[in-house]
Amino acid sequence: MIMKRRMGLSGKFISALFIISVFGCGGISNDSPKRLEDKPQSAIHGFPDWFWNMSSNESQILAVGYSENYFREESSKAQALQNGLETLAKSISVRIKGEQGFWNVGSQMAIAGDFEEAVDDGMLQRVGDNYKVLRTYKSESMTIVLLSFGETSNLDEIDNEAIKPAEVEPKWLKELPQTRGYIYAIGSSSQYFRETQSWLSAERNARVALASTLGIKLRGLVKQLDQQIEIVEAAEVDVELNRAQILSRWVHPQMGIYYVLARMPLLDNKDA
């Protein structure tokens, strides 16, 4: 039985195409949702270093769960835990299926797409039986938890002191890391009203970018529209990602754009 969580890149928006690079390939996926008229939550909150820069090794998988802050603190923690378990399961194995369309009319380009993430119920059960909560942190805007699957060591080295994001964009945003045997991708999101949604959208887009580097089927159509040439292309994706983990996060202090860096090993995805 498959549990599907639908994810939409709804509407049309201006975006950049995937960028391919590294030892194998890598990508970047952008999501630019319409800003709400109400003032969104401030993006520049401090979080622990384990949130901005997550450790990674072959013996464990880490994931962060998010929740808005509710009146009852236990409700916030429970929601963050539930979200974190789903993300932890996706970090182990997730199928991404969908289609993204590109329209070129004259000098204008628009992109719209719709993707689904599917996680096997057995994987959710396995994660639910074997996870560990390493840290919990509450900011002004949300509650987050750090979860692990697999061996856990050096817990004393996980500092819970909050720090602001760096004012200068990280190196990985300028140039994807190059590590033999791995694929890297960047996902981004503009600012939603809820900060939790901004981070979740960026993480989802990073997974879509990874999936797009593994397998894309393209088809195109050219037609005349009001004396202009319209070029329509569609990119279909249907792949399973294994051990696709979020490594780093950053938010632009002035522009309020959210970025995450994701990585997955080629060896675990050779059959994708």
Longest dimension (CA), the chain: 67
Name residues whose C-beta falls within 8 Å of residue 209's C-beta, 6 or more positions apart in sequence: 18, 26, 27, 28, 29, 185, 186, 187, 262
> Which residues are CB-neighbours of 86 under 8 A, at least 6 positions away?
5, 65, 119, 124
Q: What is the arithmetic mean of pLDDT over 213-239?
A: 61
pLDDT at 19 over 50: no
169 closest CA partner among 245, 253, 247, 246: 253
pLDDT exceeds cutoff 60 at 24: no
- As a whole number, the mean pLDDT across the chain is 77
Containing 82, the helix (H) or strand (E) segment is: helix 73-92
Phi/psi at 25 (5° precision): -165, 170
The residues facing 186 across adjacent strands are 28, 261
Higher pLDDT, 229 or 193: 193
pLDDT of residue 25: 45
Lookup: tokens for 32: 């630019």
- 0.75 exceeded by pTM: yes
